[in-house]
Amino acid sequence: MKGWHKKAIVYQIYPRSFCDSNGDGIGDLRGIISKLDYMQSLGINTVWLNPIYKSPNDDGGYDISDFFSIQPEFGTMDDFDELLAGLHQRQIKLVMDLVLNHTSDEHPWFQESRKSKDNPYRNYYFWRPGKNGAEPNNWPSFFGNNAWELDKTTNEYYLHLYSRKQPDLNWEYAPLREEIKKIIRFWATKGVDGFRLDSISTISKRIDFPDTTFNDFGQTVKAFFSNGPKLKEFIAELSRDACKDLVTIGEGPGLEAEDALLYLDEKEGLSMIFHFDHMFIDHGPRGRFDPRPWSLSEFKKIFYEWDQALGYQGWGSIFLGNHDFPRMVSRWGDDQQYHEKSAKLLITLLLSMRGTPFIFQGDEIGMTNFVMKSIGDSKDIETINGWRTAQGRGWSEETFLEKANQAGRDNARTPVQWDAATNSGFTSGISWMPLNPNFDRINVETQDQNPDSVLNYFKEMVQLRKVNSLFTEGNYEPVEGDENLFLFTRGKGDEKILVALNFTSQEIDLPKRVGKLEKLIGNYPGNSDRMRPWEAVIFKTLP
Ligand code: TEU
Ligand code: CA
């Protein structure tokens, strides 16, 4: 059944770092099963699971070598079936993560494809001869270096927009599209409720492969990788033939608001998309390790513009962090003095915005960025390759480490902090990734016992959103005020609420014109005429 996604409150699980059941230091499916009651206690009604398929794990499982089996480190197909049943028993839907832009180079299709120019699988990928003894064009990959890799066997290059172990699939080739439909049907038959389609914005290539004319990576993604000539056609075909009753959430790096509408359609398109305009707000020309300053005004404008563009035709996905970005409280809040206040403020924003909210594991307790002491601590291909590129430009380790600690993906991937015991209750063995040392203070067990904790505030906000349809159905209007306040109303019929968020550690006045208000929820006790540091309040507006 479609349509449920508008009422979804999604909890994102990164399996490797969620909970380890067998002491090998790696989170797994039985670990997730052991936390089903916890998920239910949060009040969420949907889980998005990052990839759990068989994978050499070059890129955290986004390099799939078998779409029909479970990564042995994560468990078995029986474990999966039990997890799905356990979720459904609790009225929680499951959204799987599917990577269809590329496979692992260890996938049998690619193993065949690389063998000879006339292999039946040759066309599953993009193979091109070199140009004047070099790569076919100048496209950079997301993870540094050129996006083409020379393969000795046939002396041709294959395309990889991500790592060289992630060759891009050729959607132009109809037999490949049929294989993809089989994968979707296999999981749909098991009863999964939907898919988050990884990097779906890049599946249709400009097959003449023109050189990029931009130095700015983000512009290259927009103009050359994403939004390709057959994207609409490919998405429509997939939706018609394989995703009929499934909710689909397209991950859309490089998509602009106007393009997004082309791909959102109840029947012949995606149910929702993830855009990245706010998530790339501080990325400079060379991406995340090349930061540029950002302002709250810009940030607010992005939310407004997307809401306007999607209107009531499409539907938005609201998120402030995931497995690819720093922790939301460290990035948009103050993870030191105002840790608790700002974590609650961001939860207020997530759960009161128009669109479907996605919360990443650990953000419900305000987990923070992890400070690596050397690049050797990084487990992420993007950081490791980024460091290689940075070295080529003469950067010192200290300089790069500072950027990686601010912007890298490792930040989101440290294990979930369950309690204050050894290894935070994540594993009884040696964790695959270091724990954030603050788990003695920031953990589920401690917060569960404290009525004022971030965790309990999260649960309250979830309940508020669930009982009041204004949060899902109401329209969204920005309200003018101090530039450091994020103010907006949600309204439906005669009912209206005002969401007021102070994104600074200074006190700021609310604008005079807001009228009579009654507080519904907030992160400070009592009322104040001024917004206190990192204060978040939702008011009911009174006539
Ligand atoms: O990410 C694709 C994407 O949007 C990239 O811009 C992303 O921000 C990435 O971190 C590169 O900077 C998806 C997955 O979420 C990511 O984990 C994978 O590495 C990537 O696709 C390749 O499958
Ligand atoms: Ca394990």
Decide if 335 is catalytic. Answer: no
Amino acid at 482: D
User: How confident is the model at residue 446, as a pLDDT?
Assistant: 98
Asked whether residue 514 carries a pLDDT value surpassing 80, the answer given is no
- CB-ligand 1 contact for 363 (6 Å cutoff): no
- CB-ligand 1 contact for 162 (6 Å cutoff): yes
Determine the average pLDDT of the residues in 113-129.
98
User: How confident is the model at residue 267, as a pLDDT?
Assistant: 85
Of 199, 216, 278, 325, the one to substitute when testing ligand 1's pocket (max ligand atoms within 8 A of C-beta) is 199
The DSSP bridge pattern shows strands 46-49 and 10-13 to be parallel
Amino acid at 165: K
Q: How far is the CA of 71 from the centre of ligand 1 (A)?
A: 20
Of residues 226, 204, 184, 33, the one with CA closest to residue 95: 184
Q: Which two tokens stand for residue 387?
A: 């460091």
List all residues 6 or more positions away from 90 whose beta carbon is below 8 Å from its beta carbon: 36, 37, 39, 40
Q: Name the packing angle between helices 174-190 and 231-242 (round to 10°).
A: 40
Opening angle at CA 289, ends 283 and 293, nearest 5: 40
- CB-ligand 1 contact for 142 (6 Å cutoff): yes
Determine the average pLDDT of the residues in 493-506.
96
Torsion of CA 260, 191, 13, 65, to 10 degrees: -80
User: How confident is the model at residue 255, as a pLDDT?
Assistant: 94
Of residues 159, 308, 322, the one with CA closest to residue 249: 322
Of 53, 104, 142, 196, the one to substitute when testing ligand 1's pocket (max ligand atoms within 8 A of C-beta) is 142
Q: What is the pLDDT of residues 149-161, one digit of tens each?
A: 999 999 999 999 9
Amino acid at 173: Y
In terms of pLDDT, which residue wins out, 241 or 3? 241
List all residues 6 or more positions away from 151 whose beta carbon is below 8 Å from its beta carbon: 114, 157, 158
Q: What is the pLDDT of residues 456-487, one digit of tens each?
A: 999 999 999 999 999 999 999 999 999 999 99
Torsion of CA 11, 371, 218, 346, to 10 degrees: 40
Confidence of residue 120 (pLDDT cuts 50, 70, 90): very high
Q: What is the pLDDT of residues 173-198, one digit of tens each?
A: 999 999 999 999 999 999 999 999 99
- CB-ligand 1 contact for 59 (6 Å cutoff): yes
- CB-ligand 1 contact for 135 (6 Å cutoff): no
Of 14, 62, 319, the one to substitute when testing ligand 1's pocket (max ligand atoms within 8 A of C-beta) is 62
Q: How far is the CA of 324 from the centre of ligand 1 (A)?
A: 6
**Number of the ligand closest to the Cα of 253:** 1
Q: pLDDT over 70 for what percent of the chain? A: 100
Quick check: helix, strand or coil at residue 230? coil
Length of the chain: 543
User: How confident is the model at residue 1, as a pLDDT?
Assistant: 57
Say how far apart CA 85 and CA 446 lie, in whole Å: 30
Q: Name the packing angle between helices 381-392 and 397-407 (round to 10°).
A: 150
| Ligand 1 atom closest to the CA of 288, numbered from 1 | 12
Decide if 529 is catalytic. Answer: no
Inter-residue contact 276 to 253 (CB < 8 Å) = yes
Confidence of residue 376 (pLDDT cuts 50, 70, 90): very high
Determine the average pLDDT of the residues in 282-311.
94
Q: What is the pLDDT of residues 306-322, one digit of tens each?
A: 999 987 788 999 999 99
Say how far apart CA 366 and CA 335 lie, in whole Å: 8
Q: Whose Cα sits closest to atom 20 in ligand 1?
A: 62
Asked whether residue 38 carries a pLDDT value surpassing 90, the answer given is yes
CA separation, residue 13 to residues 54, 86, 346, 457 (Å)? 17, 15, 19, 20
Q: What is the pLDDT of residues 193-205, one digit of tens each?
A: 999 999 999 999 9
User: How confident is the model at residue 3, as a pLDDT?
Assistant: 81
User: How confident is the model at residue 258, as a pLDDT?
Assistant: 87
Q: Whose Cα sits closest to atom 17 in ligand 1?
A: 324
CA separation, residue 145 to residues 106, 353, 398 (Å)? 21, 38, 22
Q: Whose Cα sits closest to atom 10 in ligand 1?
A: 324
Say how far apart CA 10 and CA 371 lie, in whole Å: 28
Count of Cβ atoms closer than 10 Å to residue 475 Cβ: 14
Inter-residue contact 111 to 192 (CB < 8 Å) = no
Query: Which among 58, 79, 193, 251 is annotated as catalytic?
Result: 251
Quick check: helix, strand or coil at residue 520? strand
Q: How far is the CA of 56 from the centre of ligand 2 (A)?
A: 16
Asked whether residue 435 carries a pLDDT value surpassing 60, the answer given is yes
Q: Whose Cα sits closest to atom 11 in ligand 1?
A: 142
Determine the average pLDDT of the residues in 76-102.
98
Q: Whose Cα sits closest to atom 4 in ligand 1?
A: 253
- CB-ligand 1 contact for 203 (6 Å cutoff): no
